[in-house]
Amino acid sequence: MTLRQHFNRLSRFCYSRLLVAVALTIMLGAQTPAAMSETKEEVRVLAFGDSLTAGYGLPKTDSFPAKLEQSLRAKGINAIVTNAGVSGDTTAGGRARLDWALSSKPHLTIVELGANDAMRGVPPGATWNNLDNILTRLKEQNIAVLLTGMVAPPNYGDKFAQVFDGIYPRLADRHGVLLYPFFLEGVAADPKLNQADGIHPTAQGVDLIVERILPYVLKLIDTPDA
């Protein structure tokens, strides 16, 4: 074999290897994490509630919606969680502003309302009617719902607490929505996880809330209807 023949053969071999490498790069490039994240469908979550959702006393980055979004993205979900929490809001206030809150066009909504009703001694029947209206309107717009429960303080007596606490499981059954029994589960009454007022969670308290509620949110995202 002459030197020219050897060179031509080597050139053809290298050229074929180059074509294979280019083809593999094109095929595998679509599977890189960056490319996958660009094509992954966006999941819009509305966190609809009161000061517990808004992040009272905390930087925005430590609020429940912000930390929930971080946790979902860490799971590889392209989530946008909108903070629609208003400090001091009651179920009546939430009912009045629902249409405005839905301007973000969410795929699913976390409803966290009722704590201020309980603290103000709002008749449980009124709380029921407001939440029932909110859930009905979300269902009419085909928005998946995670309803978070609340527990009444003891100062209004056992009867009030029994009726109020029962609102959430009954509404979840009535509307066929997923229920997280108590939004402050594991956080309420723990001084280490609450701010000085003893009501609103610290950043560490929010971390625990997100950790415990995350499986419910993931379940809702995985639901075909959602």
pLDDT of residue 39: 38
Query: Domain check: are 130 and 213 in the same one?
Result: yes
Same domain, 158 and 210: yes
Same domain, 20 and 56: no
Clarify whether residues 21 and 70 are in a common domain: no
The per-residue pLDDT for 18 is: 41
pLDDT of residue 9: 52
Q: Are residues 6 and 117 in the same domain?
A: no
**Tokens at 86, concatenated:** 């208003």
The reply to whether 106 and 167 lie within a common domain is yes
**Same domain membership, residue 34 and residue 73:** no
The verdict on 111 and 22 lying in the same domain is no
Are residues 56 and 159 both part of a single domain? Answer: yes
Q: Catalytic: which of 87, 190, 197, 207? A: 197
User: In this predicted structure, what is the pLDDT of residue 46?
Assistant: 98
Strands 144-148 and 79-85: unpaired
Has this prediction a pTM greater than 0.75?
A: yes
**Catalytic site residue from 63, 99, 200, 222:** 200
CATH of the domain at 142: 3.40.50.1110
Catalytic, 51? Answer yes
Q: Are 16 and 28 within one domain?
A: yes
Do 152 and 177 belong together in one domain? Answer: yes
Beta bridge partners of 148: 180
Helix pair angle (64-74, 203-222), 10° resolution: 50
Number of domains in the chain: 2
The parts of the chain modelled with pLDDT lower than 70 are 1-39, 224-226
| Domain residue limits at 1 | 1-39
61 and 166, same structural domain? Answer: yes
Within 13 Å and on the Cβ side, how many CA atoms surround 171? 31
Q: Give the Cα separation of 137 and 97 in Å (integer).
A: 12
Q: Which residue out of 51, 63, 89, 165 is catalytically annotated? A: 51
